[in-house]
Amino acid sequence: MVLLPAAASGADAPVPSPGESLHATVAALGSAVFDAFNRCSDPAQLDRHAGYFAEDVESYHDTGGVTWTRDQMLENTRKHVCGNFSRELVPGTLQVHPIKDFGAIAQGSHRFCQFASGKCEGVADFTMIWRHRDGVWQLTRVLSYGHRAADGAR
């Protein structure tokens, strides 16, 4: 069973059932992170989003640089993301790999959709390192890279 961080454990957050595969668990966690990210202009959703990240999370962004704490990363999200665009997983791209005695690596691609135009014109790759400790899953490292125009933008 996945226990979400307190800030992320709202009734709408998906909680995989006992015995569910690591892939399904990490996919559900990733979906919840994206959902809160996409609605971060609501302060409650930004708080929910924050709950998925360790306080000392490292975030590496090829065009935005590096942040070394959750507070720094969230400030960038607040400034540059909230109310501007959403991100969604590109179907079929999620890969999940276990990390012995730690958690999991999630890799995939996400596309970015502008709220103003409704167009999804950007795409990037991501790698997320999930730590599972004391029944709680949290992100400890996040990489977002290879930002480019989406093929066949919609």
As a whole number, the mean pLDDT across the chain is: 89
User: Per 3-state DSSP, what percentage of the chain is helix, strand, and coil (rounded to 5)?
Assistant: 25, 40, 35
The span from the CA of 22 to the CA of 97, in Å, is 8
Encoding tokens for residue 39? 């609605």
Give the three-class secondary structure for 21. coil
Say which CATH architecture domain 8-149 belongs to: Roll (3.10)
The span from the CA of 136 to the CA of 40, in Å, is 22
Enter the pTM of the model: 0.85
**pLDDT (tens place) for every residue of the chain, 154 residues total:** 344 444 443 334 344 555 579 999 999 999 999 999 999 999 999 999 999 999 999 999 999 999 999 999 999 999 999 999 999 999 999 999 999 999 999 999 999 999 999 999 999 999 999 999 999 999 999 999 999 999 865 5
Residue 28: which residues within 8 A CB-CB, separation 6 or more? 2, 14, 15, 16, 20
pLDDT value, residue 133 = 96
pLDDT value, residue 17 = 54
pLDDT value, residue 151 = 85
The span from the CA of 127 to the CA of 87, in Å, is 14
